[in-house]
Structures are given as C-alpha cells and as structure tokens.
Amino acid sequence: MRFLLSALLVLTLAACAGTGPTAQNPAASDPQAASDYLRKSASAKETVDVDKQSVGDLTTADSDLWARIRRGFQMPDLQSDLVDMQASWYAQRPDYVQRMTERSQKYLYHIVEELESRHMPTELALLPFIESAYNPQALSVAKAAGMWQFMPATGRTFNLKRNMWQDERRDVLASTSAALDYLSRLHDMFGDWYLALAAYNWGEGNLQRAIARNQAAGLPTDYQSLRMPNETRNYVPKLQAVKNIVMNPQQYGLALPEIPNHPYFVTVTTSRDIDVTVAAKLANLPLDEFKSLNPSFSKPVILGATQPQILLPFDNASAFEKSLKSYDGQLSSWTAYTVTERARPAAIAEKIGVDADTLMQVNKIPAGMRLKPGSTIVVPRTDDDDEDISADVAENGVLAMEPDVPDTRKMLIRVRRKQSMEALASRYGVSVAQLRGWNRTRRAVVMPGQTMVLHVPVGRAVPAEPGPERIATSVAGGHIERASLHTGGKASSRGRKVAPVAAKPSAKAAAKSGAKAAPAKTSSRKTAKKK
C-alpha cells in the first residue's frame, strides 16, 4: 500500500454487530474539549492504533493554513499585463472564487504537507485552482481527469490505476503524489518553475521544441520569450494572479474562507467489500460529501481486495470507527457477474433476475450497446451470497461493449470500370461514410480493379450481377471464403479447392484453330452468375 502522508487509521472490517451511536468530534460540543483538541500536535504522518489511541489526537495548533501557504512561496513574481488581466477576471467573479476556495478546504492541507515534505514551493498548491477549480470530478473535453487534470497516457506513466472499479486520476492522494512527481521531474528537466509549469500544461516535448527554435534563432529561452499557444501563454499568469489574491485578497475585493491548519481527513482501509452508501452512513456523512473525498471509486461498491484508501473527514472519523464496530447489517449488496456470451443487457438482466434499467445505470452501459463475452458487470448480491469479489476480478475485470447492430458478413468486392463509391454504397445499401471507414480511406474516388471491403447484414440478399465483382465473403468473426474469378485453383482460407476457370481463347488464336472466340463480356458475365 502506498505510504500515506495523511493520517492512517487502519480498520479491518470483519464480522460486526448492530448500528451504534455516532461519536462526535469533542471540539463540536465542549469549549474546553475544543481547546485541548486543537492544542494537540500529532503528526499527520502518524499511524493510529485505535486499540490504544484516538483519532482525536490528530490535530495541530489552530493556525490559518493560508498563512502557512504564504510562508512557503518560493517562485519569483511574474510581472506582466496578462497577470493583471487574469487577476481582474477573478476579482469580477467573487462567487466563483468563493466556490472553488471553499471546495479546496478538503484537500489543501494534504497538498501543502506533501509539498513541504518535498521542499517544493507552495505556489503549486494553487495549481488545481487553475486546472480544475479544485474539483476532483472534473473531466475535460480532451479526457483529462481529476483536480490535477491527468490525461490517460500521462496517468499511466505515473502509475495511476485506471480500471472498471476505480480511476486514480481522480484519487486525492494518488493524483497529488503523481502530479508532484511530474512537476518535480519537469523542474529537474528545465531548471525553472515557469518552464516546468508550461511543460505541465503544453507537454514537455512541445516545450523542448520551442526552446530549440529560440536557441537556433539566438533568442532567449525564458518563459516569456518562447512562442506557445494562448492557453499556455496564460497558464503561469493565471497562477500568479491566484497567488496575488492569496497574498492580499482585500486588494481585489475578495475574501478567503478560513482553513484550519490541521488534517481535514484521515484514511481508512478495509479487507471487506463495502457499499459507498454504507460507508457514508457509518461515517454519519452525506453521500455527496463522501464522494467528494473519494471520487475515484466508479462503482457503488468499494472492493476490499484492492486494499482501498477511503478518505473520511477528520471530524467524522471517530463516528465511523464506533458505528462500524457495532454494525450487523450487510456491508455490501453488490457482486460481480461474468458474461459468457455476446448479449444485450436486457437479456442478461432477465437471465439473472434483475432490473434492466438498474443494470445499465450501475454499469454505465449506453443504450444501443451489447456486451462482449468475458465482460464483468456489477449486479445485486443475493441473500445467500456472502462472498466478496475476488482479487483477480478486482484487478483484471473489464467491461467490453460493442454496438448492438445485426450480425454482418464481410465481403471483398473488386470495382469495375465507371463505378463510383456512391454507386457501390447505393447498390449494397450502405453509406459512403461506412465504405470509407471500412476501407480506412478519405478518398471519394475508386479505381477499376480496386478491392473494397464492405459489411452487409447476415441474411440480406447480395445484388446479382451486373455489378462489382465479388471476390470473397465471410460472416463477421469467421473465415473469409474465397470465391474469386481469378483463384487459379488455389485453396480458400478454409482449405477448399476452388476449380480454376478455363481460359477463353483470344480471337486471334481462335482464327488459327478455326474456333470462334467467345465475347469477353458474355464469358465473364456467365462465370460471374455461376459464382
């Protein structure tokens, strides 16, 4: 398990009994307890043995986290009109600033702790304001996800797990660790934080090429001298604008929410499957709040086989601890089901006795799709099923889908003279776009003798000649059966011998032998009809 830089509360969810009372944070009800509570100074890196200690020990002095962030600023200030423009943009949107700063309260302490442990500038704790407005559920049109906005490929590079159960690009702990690893590597590569930030936004390869162009032209290679897209050109000024606001919010007519300088959450783990709703209930936590801290879980059940890291608010951790110990209900109401054959969701739902709409919603199966054999889906657990989902399914389960279209057979046709792609598409009842897609071409022109691929529904009659010369067909997923006019007696892909077509004598040869030469078109047409 990854070493946690937040507090780690290790709980094993074994057989438990009856829902008990919810424990409250002592700071919430008793002023003296609150004073004692805030004076304690347990390290956020400490592991708490709940048999001997309490999660109430995980507090530090009541100081403002914004002040701590300001003290950690290390980057030189960027002076430019773009900075002023970005600061003005934020100043004109106080509601937006309030929403994203309040959202950041859950995560800022952990990120600052991580930065300080790595001796990195705390300006980087402000970067998720730029990337995602501190929303770990954010998803860009380019498929970048999480508050640090990792693309799928970059996430794989930094070992962020992404499967049917979880997307660690959204995980608060994992994505933060990966983002700081990446930023640190970029700083080592370029030797400058502004350039590292530009590379984080634009890509290190693009930035290297921009630097090389300036070097070749004898130009400076600092951030403000490089040619780059507008998004990257405004990226560092946005961060500087947020830094300026944090330094002096009153100057911009803004107010920052007070954020205590202690951990917002602790981390728990479990060896048993547990529903997201059950975990939230045991923590006495609204479901939306639970999901905001645990946005990486993409199914309604959290798998114990993966040693999950479940974040709970600092003030609710002891509630979870006490309620769990006396809980005798079912921890998980979901299990995994493996699809054995290609099938529609409705057919699977009927087979196992569940509601089709529920099945599609839980597994995020779009309408008009069917499941491929070997797919894993989440289904309601039966009353007599108390077995958790296996580690193999947790690690390797996949949901594979395909469009729910009629079974097709593949045909290879040879284009005749004076035939167009539009004519071929019309003849076989397909679209030009489909023809282009099947043949991986953008061209609208076809040439005589060219071989084209098309797919027609099984059972649909193939147009009779005259028309394109069909040289092969196969049912989708099967072998191609050769039926060419020019096989020369070669075996088909199924090993069957195709009789060679006797060559017709030319007119000149026929004259010498006294025989009549058959017209080429008539001969070809007769042969085609036999096929």
Rounded mean pLDDT, 252-259: 97
- Cα(408)–Cα(371) distance, rounded to whole angstroms? 17
- Same domain? For 267 and 197 the reply is no
- Same domain? For 393 and 443 the reply is no
Give this prediction's pTM: 0.72
Q: Which domain holds residue 398?
A: 334-403
Take residue 10 and report the two structure tokens written for it. Answer: 């290790």
Rounded mean pLDDT, 251-268: 95
- Same domain? For 467 and 431 the reply is yes
Identify which of 410, 428, 399 has the alpha carbon closest to the alpha carbon of residue 483.
410
In a domain, 519, yes or no: no
Rounded mean pLDDT, 84-97: 98
- % pLDDT > 70, the chain: 75
**Strand, helix or coil at 343?**
strand
- Same domain? For 50 and 164 the reply is no
- Same domain? For 170 and 288 the reply is no
Q: Decide if pLDDT at 126 tops 60.
A: yes
Check: CB of residue 306 under 8 Å from CB of residue 168.
Answer: no
| pLDDT tens for each residue of 415-441 | 888 888 898 888 888 888 888 888 888
The residue among 403, 424, 459 that closes a domain is 403
| Residue 523: per-residue pLDDT | 40
Q: Decide if pLDDT at 380 tops 60.
A: yes
- Same domain? For 89 and 153 the reply is yes
- Same domain? For 75 and 169 the reply is yes
How many structural domains is the chain composed of? 4
- Cα(74)–Cα(353) distance, rounded to whole angstroms? 61
- Same domain? For 388 and 452 the reply is no
- Same domain? For 94 and 219 the reply is yes
In a domain, 522, yes or no: no
Residue where the block lists tokens 């805030």: 38
In a domain, 53, yes or no: yes
- Same domain? For 449 and 464 the reply is yes
| Residue 129: per-residue pLDDT | 99
The residue among 272, 307, 325 that closes a domain is 325
In a domain, 523, yes or no: no
| pLDDT tens for each residue of 302-339 | 999 999 999 998 778 888 888 888 888 889 999 999 99
Q: What is the largest CA-CA distance in the chain?
A: 122
| Residue 466: per-residue pLDDT | 55
In a domain, 159, yes or no: yes
Rounded mean pLDDT, 504-519: 49
- Cα(166)–Cα(295) distance, rounded to whole angstroms? 9
Rounded mean pLDDT, 106-115: 98
Q: Decide if pLDDT at 25 tops 50.
A: no
Identify which of 38, 215, 193, 197 has the alpha carbon closest to the alpha carbon of residue 130.
197
Pick 220 or 452 by higher pLDDT.
220
In a domain, 391, yes or no: yes
- Same domain? For 301 and 373 the reply is no
In a domain, 86, yes or no: yes
Catalytic residue IDs: 131
| Residue 166: per-residue pLDDT | 97
- Same domain? For 212 and 97 the reply is yes
